[in-house]
């Protein structure tokens, strides 16, 4: 009977925050593939999927956004404590919400890395993956993060990625290098 040493199954939460269409999810899935190839247990908690299944019914008020982030943070912490590399590409626009998630991880002893995918709003608007910027410009929606709703940039993230200046592979490699440096990859 073989036993797994606890340090061989180190989980972590890697939270990728940034504006809509910044590249968070694309980078997360690129890194997830690389980590899986290396034998890590990996989950991606995609913000859109979470809103469909776990936090359906929440709107986009400050309170609802905070609740959404806290629920995702709880799940990420749970997975990380159980040996899963948990990649969380979620806007999480408010610094106090992200800090509460960091504190939850500190209290549980789970590793937590905050990554700011720092793509300028002009670039995000050009990418407009979901058509949100076009809808906002046409007056069809309001409350778009970074345009007519606040986005509080992280003051000191563990890593800042400028996805508009490098490829998805380069962005994922930079994040992988940070994980390796911290003994998590």
DSSP, collapsed to helix, strand or coil, labels residue 10 as coil
19: annotated binding-site residue? yes
Strands 42-44 and 85-89: parallel
25: annotated binding-site residue? yes
Angle at 65 (CA atoms; ends 44, 87), nearest 5 degrees: 15
54: annotated binding-site residue? no
103: annotated binding-site residue? no
Angle at 59 (CA atoms; ends 58, 63), nearest 5 degrees: 85
First and final C-alpha spacing in the chain: 26
22: annotated binding-site residue? yes
150: annotated binding-site residue? no
24: annotated binding-site residue? yes
Q: What is the DSSP string of 52-107?
A: HHTSTT--SSHHHHHHHHHHHHHHHHHHHHTT-EEEEE-----HHHHHHHHHHHHH
- Please report, in range form, the residues annotated as the binding site: 18-25
- Please report, in range form, the residues annotated as the binding site for ATP: 18-25
């Amino acid at each position: 009977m073989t036993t797994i040493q606890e340090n061989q199954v180190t989980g972590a939460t890697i939270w990728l925050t940034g504006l809509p269409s910044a590249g968070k999810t694309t980078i997360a899935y690129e890194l997830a593939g690389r980590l899986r190839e290396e034998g890590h247990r990996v989950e991606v908690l995609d913000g859109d999927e979470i809103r469909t299944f776990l936090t359906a019914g929440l709107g986009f008020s400050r309170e609802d956004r905070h609740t959404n982030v806290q629920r995702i943070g709880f799940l990420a912490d749970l997975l990380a404590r159980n040996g899963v590399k948990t990649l969380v590409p979620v806007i999480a626009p408010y610094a106090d919400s992200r800090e509460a998630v960091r504190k939850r991880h500190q209290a549980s002893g789970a590793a937590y890395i905050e990554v700011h995918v720092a793509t300028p709003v002009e670039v995000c608007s050009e990418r407009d993956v979901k058509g949100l910027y076009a809808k906002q410009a046409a007056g069809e929606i309001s409350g778009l993060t970074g345009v007519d709703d606040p986005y509080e940039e992280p003051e000191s993230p563990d890593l800042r990625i400028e996805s508009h200046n490098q490829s998805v592979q380069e962005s994922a490699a930079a994040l992988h290098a940070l994980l390796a440096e911290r003994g998590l990859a």
